[in-house]
Amino acid sequence: MRRSITNRLVMAGMSILLVSGCTAAIAPVDVTRFHNEAVVRQGNVAIVPVNMADADSLEFRTTANAVSAALARTGFTVNERGTGELEAVVGIERQIYLPGEQRRSPVSVGVGGSTGSYGSGLGLGIGINLSGKPKSVVSTRLHVQLRRSVDGVAIWEGRAETQAREGAPAAQPGLAAGKLADALFRDFPGTSGVTIRVK
């Protein structure tokens, strides 16, 4: 009986650690939004890509699904047939770079390394790499513009960006798109021209 209770406590503790580890692995999102005072807060919306050639790509569909869910939570109705009073023009880009490296094009990958040192008792120094090759950072930015379908006039736009180590769950396109879209449309329409950090 005592062993059973101990096992349950150990399992519960491990679950808490796993959950807290997953939460800590997802970085906060920087969000900036712009709009005029007459921005609408509901209506039918069609999701379209910045570049229509990307309309059938897996990346766009993943991002569009995340934006659709966020818009629906905000109060909009997403029209799957591609027509609506409004269009949400969606674009997403990913940049990969090493920590401390200046970011370049969306598909760039930098190279580099760090070296630690270890001194022996005789005062000799040997340069060795203790930390291994530093992991690249994946920066993902989502941009959405809401515009009137009838004349193409933009009434709201925003961008959200987050970063994660390459290979981490938060760097996966689906998870990143969902987190970015949720942060971008939280407390819609948001304060115009102000950058906030959403955790």
> How do residues 98-142 score in pLDDT, each as one tens digit?
876 655 444 322 222 333 332 333 334 444 445 556 778 889 999
**Residue ranges of domains in the chain:** 28-98+138-192
Backbone angles phi, psi at 120, to 5 degrees: -85, 175
The string of pLDDT tens digits covering residues 174-194 is: 899 999 999 999 999 999 999
Under 8 Å between Cβ of 197 and 29: yes
Q: What is the pLDDT of residue 188?
A: 94
Task: List C-alpha distances in Å: 107 to 59, 62, 64.
Answer: 14, 19, 21
Token pair of 174 as six digits? 């689906």
Q: Please provide the DSSP assignment of 80-110 as one string.
A: TTS--SEEEEEEEEEEEE-TTSPP-STT---
Helix (H, G, I), strand (E, B) or coil at 173: helix
pLDDT at 46 over 50: yes
Helix 173-184 and helix 58-74, axial crossing angle in degrees, nearest 10: 30
Give the CATH number of domain 28-98+138-192; options: 1.10.240.10, 3.30.70.920, 3.30.160.670, 3.30.420.10: 3.30.160.670
The residue type of 10 is V
- Give the whole-angstrom CA distance, residue 18 versus residue 24: 10
Model pTM greater than 0.85? no
Q: What is the pLDDT of residue 107?
A: 35
Contacts of residue 185, defined as CB under 8 A and 6 or more positions apart, other chains included, come to 70, 71, 73, 74, 158
- Give the whole-angstrom CA distance, residue 180 versus residue 29: 7
Q: What is the pLDDT of residue 25?
A: 52
- Give the whole-angstrom CA distance, residue 173 versus residue 164: 11
- Give the whole-angstrom CA distance, residue 195 versus residue 199: 13
Give the residue, 32 or 97, on which the prediction is more confident: 32
Token pair of 2 as six digits? 């005592």
